[in-house]
């Protein structure tokens, strides 16, 4: 009876630990990385969409690399871009970019390390 009880308790402990691991909140780095990828993909989709306003073609390029210090300026420029304010998809993208900027300069400021400050690398993605 005792070995069965130990096995059952071990199984419960293992399942509880697995559940806690899945429920762990994302780190600042993982959140910033996933949001930057999401924004970059949304921008690509917006650029290739046929149903969107022609002003989308004039938007600043939005390739994001959170390891590049110039990403901060890139996000500021994109959010401040005066055209396309009537296009819902652009406004949604600007809100995501604003959120990413806020996370970078406020919440994750001490957690991130910028590996480069090559602004041209954000203009011509690899």
DSSP 7-64: HHHHHHHHHHHHHHHHHPPPPHHHHHHHHHHHHHHHHHHHHH-SSS-GGGGGSPP---
Q: At what angle do helices 71-80 and 88-102 cross, to 10 degrees?
A: 140
CA–CA separation, 85 and 55 (whole Å): 10
Q: Which region among 6-20, 34-48, 88-102 has the lowest average model confidence (pLDDT)?
A: 6-20
Rounded mean pLDDT of the chain? 81
52 or 88, greater pLDDT = 88
What is the pLDDT averaged over residues 84-100? 90
Q: What is the pTM of this model?
A: 0.73
Give the pLDDT of residue 108.
81
Nearest to 69 by CA among 125, 123, 116: 116
């Amino acid at each position: 009876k005792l070995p069965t009880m130990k096995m059952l308790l071990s199984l419960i402990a293992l399942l509880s630990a697995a559940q806690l691991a899945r429920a762990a909140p994302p780190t600042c780095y993982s959140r910033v990385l996933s949001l930057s990828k999401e924004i970059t993909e949304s921008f690509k989709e917006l650029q290739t969409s046929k149903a969107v306003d022609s002003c989308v073609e004039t938007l600043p390029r939005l390739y994001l690399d959170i390891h590049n210090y110039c990403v901060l300026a890139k996000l500021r420029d994109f959010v401040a871009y005066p055209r396309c304010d009537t296009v819902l998809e652009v406004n949604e993208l600007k809100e995501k970019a604003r959120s990413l900027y806020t996370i970078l300069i406020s919440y994750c400021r001490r957690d991130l390390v910028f590996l480069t400050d090559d602004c041209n690398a954000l203009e011509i993605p690899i």
